[in-house]
C-alpha cells in the first residue's frame, strides 16, 4: 500500500509542472530586466527564519537549499511539502502610488530514504518571476508618443536530489534540475501624429537546460544534545539554451516579421556558506551568506549586464517543550532578518533589499506533520531616488506531511 501511495505522489508531481506557477507572482516594473525577480529557494519553515538553509539539517522539514541535508530524513519516513503564497505590494515614486495583490503555488517537494544513510528528494520550484504593466511618455519627432510596457512568465525547475552520510559527521549531496520557462516582453507605442501611427514589439525568451548544485554539511556535537552544523554549497556557471522570438507590428496590421535567434544565456557560479547551532527538540539559530557571480554570466550573449549578488540571512526557531501535551509549548516559533543587493543592472544602478520575517510551525495530531506559516516584510530601496520604491508583505502557507510509510509492523 505504501508503495502505491509513493507512486501516486510521484505521478502527481510529474503532472503539476504543467499547471503550476501559471499566475504572475509579481507586479514589479524591475522584472522587465534580466530574468525578472529571483524566487526564494527557501520553503515556508525556513522563510520564517529569515531564509537560512545551508546549515539546516532536520528530520522534520525538507531543506532544498543544501542537497546534503536530504540524508537527515529518518530511515522510516516519507515527507511531502507544498506551499502557497499571497502577496500584498506597494509601489511608490515621487508622484504616484499603487497597490497590488497576487499569489501563486510556490513549490512542491517529496523526500524519503533510499537505503541506510542515503536520502532522496524530488520537487518543483520557481526560479524567477516576470510580471509588470506600465506606461511612459516619450518624444517622437515633433510630437510625443505614449509607450505601454508589459511582461509575464518566468523560469522554473524540476529537480532530483541525492544525499549520503559519508562519515558519522559528514554528509554530501547533489541536486540536478531541469530548467524551463518562457519570459515574454511587450511594448506598444502610440504617437500624437494625425495618422495614429503605432508600433508593437514582442520578445519571447524560451529556455531549457540542466543545472547542478553540490552540497556538504559537517555536524559536530558541542555539548549534551547540542550540535553545530556547518554547510557549504556550490553551483557552477552553466550555459543553457535560449531561443528568442521577436515580432514587430507597424500600423494596424497583425504582428508580423517574426524572427527566431539563439542567444547565449548562463546561470551564475554561486557559493553558499552557513551554520546552525542546535539543541535537540528545543532551538535552532544560524546564519547564511550567498554570493553569485552574475556579472560573469552571459545574458543575450553579453557579460557585465548584471550585477554580482550577495545575500545575508539570519534567523532561528524556538520550541518551548516538544514533549509536553500543552499544544502552545509544542509550536515552533520562528523569526529572522535578511539583506541582499539586486542582481539587476538598471541603467548602471540597482537596489537594496531588506527583509524581516516571523512565523510558526503548528504541529498536527500525529506530532510529526506541521502546518507552517511565514509572514515576511520586504523593503526595496533603489539607488536612484527617482526610481520606484517597493514594499511587500508576503504570507506563505505550507503543509509538511511526515509519515512512517516504511515501518513494517510485526504480526502477533
Let me know the angle formed at the C-alpha of 124 by 119 and 130, rounded to the nearest 5 degrees. Answer: 145
Domain-embedded: residue 48: yes
Give the whole-angstrom CA distance, residue 334 versus residue 252: 56
Instruction: Match 505522489 to its residue by C-alpha cell.
Output: 9
Domain-embedded: residue 412: no
The conformation of residue 346, written as its DSSP 8-state character, comes to B
Domain-embedded: residue 151: yes
Domain-embedded: residue 410: no
- Of all residues in the chain, the percent with pLDDT exceeding 70 is 85
pLDDT in tens, 16-31: 554 455 456 788 999 9
Neighbour count for residue 212 (Cβ, 10 Å): 15
**What's the number of domains the chain is made of?**
1
Domain-embedded: residue 12: yes
Whether the pLDDT of residue 12 is over 70: the answer is no
pLDDT in tens, 223-275: 899 999 999 999 999 998 787 877 666 555 555 556 677 888 999 999 999 99
More confident residue, 310 or 246: 310
Domain-embedded: residue 408: no
Nearest partner of 4 among 300, 12, 160, 243, judged by Cα: 12
Domain-embedded: residue 138: yes
Residue 4 pLDDT class (50, 70, 90 cuts): very low
Coil vs helix vs strand at 28: coil
CATH number at residue 106: 2.40.160.60
pTM for the predicted model, two decimal places: 0.89
pLDDT in tens, 28-48: 999 999 999 999 999 999 999
Instruction: Tell me what the pLDDT averaged over the chain comes to.
Output: 87
Q: Which structural domain, as residue segments, surrounds residue 54?
A: 2-403
Output the pLDDT for position 290.
98
Domain-embedded: residue 409: no
Nearest partner of 152 among 29, 60, 61, 238, judged by Cα: 29
pLDDT in tens, 168-218: 899 999 999 999 999 998 888 877 655 555 667 778 888 889 999 999 999
Residue 412 pLDDT class (50, 70, 90 cuts): very low
Let me know the angle formed at the C-alpha of 360 by 28 and 371, rounded to the nearest 5 degrees. Answer: 90
Amino acid at each position: 500500500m505504501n508503495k502505491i501511495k509513493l507512486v501516486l505522489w510521484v505521478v502527481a508531481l510529474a503532472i503539476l509542472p504543467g499547471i503550476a506557477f501559471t499566475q504572475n507572482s509579481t507586479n514589479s516594473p524591475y522584472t522587465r530586466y534580466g530574468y525578472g525577480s529571483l524566487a526564494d529557494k527557501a520553503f515556508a519553515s525556513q522563510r520564517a527564519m529569515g531564509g537560512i538553509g545551508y546549515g539546516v539539517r532536520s528530520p522534520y522539514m525538507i531543506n532544498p537549499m543544501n542537497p546534503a541535508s536530504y540524508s537527515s530524513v529518518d530511515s522510516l519516513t516519507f515527507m511531502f511539502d507544498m506551499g502557497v503564497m499571497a502577496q500584498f505590494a506597494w509601489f511608490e515614486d515621487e508622484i504616484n502610488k499603487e497597490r497590488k495583490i497576487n499569489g501563486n503555488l510556490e513549490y512542491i517537494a517529496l523526500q524519503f530514504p533510499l537505503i541506510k544513510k542515503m536520502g532522496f528528494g524530488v520537487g518543483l520550484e520557481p526560479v524567477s518571476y516576470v510580471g509588470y504593466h506600465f506606461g511612459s511618455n516619450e518624444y517622437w519627432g515633433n510630437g510625443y508618443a505614449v509607450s505601454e510596457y508589459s511582461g509575464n512568465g518566468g523560469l522554473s525547475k524540476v529537480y532530483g536530489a541525492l544525499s549520503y552520510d559519508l562519515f558519522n559527521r559528514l554528509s554530501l549531496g547533489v541536486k540536478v534540475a531541469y530548467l524551463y520557462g518562457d519570459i515574454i516582453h511587450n511594448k506598444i507605442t502610440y504617437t500624437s501624429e494625425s495618422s495614429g501611427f503605432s508600433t508593437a514589439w514582442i520578445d519571447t525568451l524560451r529556455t531549457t537546460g540542466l543545472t547542478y548544485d553540490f552540497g556538504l554539511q559537517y555536524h559536530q556535537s558541542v555539548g549534551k544534545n547540542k550540535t553545530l552544523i556547518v554547510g557549504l554549497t556550490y553551483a557552477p556557471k552553466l550555459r543553457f539554451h535560449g531561443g528568442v522570438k521577436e515580432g514587430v507590428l507597424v500600423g494596424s496590421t497583425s504582428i508580423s516579421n517574426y524572427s527566431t535567434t539563439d542567444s547565449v544565456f548562463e546561470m551564475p557560479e554561486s557559493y553558499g556558506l552557513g551554520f546552525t547551532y542546535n539543541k535537540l527538540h528545543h532551538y535552532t539559530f544560524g546564519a547564511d551568506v550567498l554570493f553569485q557571480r552574475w556579472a560573469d554570466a552571459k545574458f543575450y550573449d553579453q557579460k557585465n549586464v548584471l550585477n554580482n549578488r550577495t545575500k545575508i540571512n539570519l534567523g532561528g526557531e524556538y520550541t518551548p517543550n516538544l514533549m509536553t501535551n500543552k499544544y502552545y509549548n509544542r509550536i515552533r516559533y520562528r523569526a529572522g532578518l535578511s539583506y541582499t543587493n539586486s542582481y539587476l543592472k538598471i541603467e548602471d544602478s540597482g537596489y537594496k533589499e531588506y527583509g524581516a520575517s516571523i512565523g510558526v510551525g503548528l504541529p498536527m495530531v500525529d506530532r510529526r506533520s506541521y502546518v507552517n506559516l511565514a509572514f515576511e516584510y520586504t523593503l526595496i530601496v533603489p539607488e536612484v531616488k527617482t526610481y520606484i520604491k517597493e514594499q511587500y508583505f508576503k504570507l506563505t502557507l505550507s503543509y509538511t506531511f511526515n509519515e512512517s510509510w516504511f515501518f513494517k509492523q510485526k504480526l502477533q
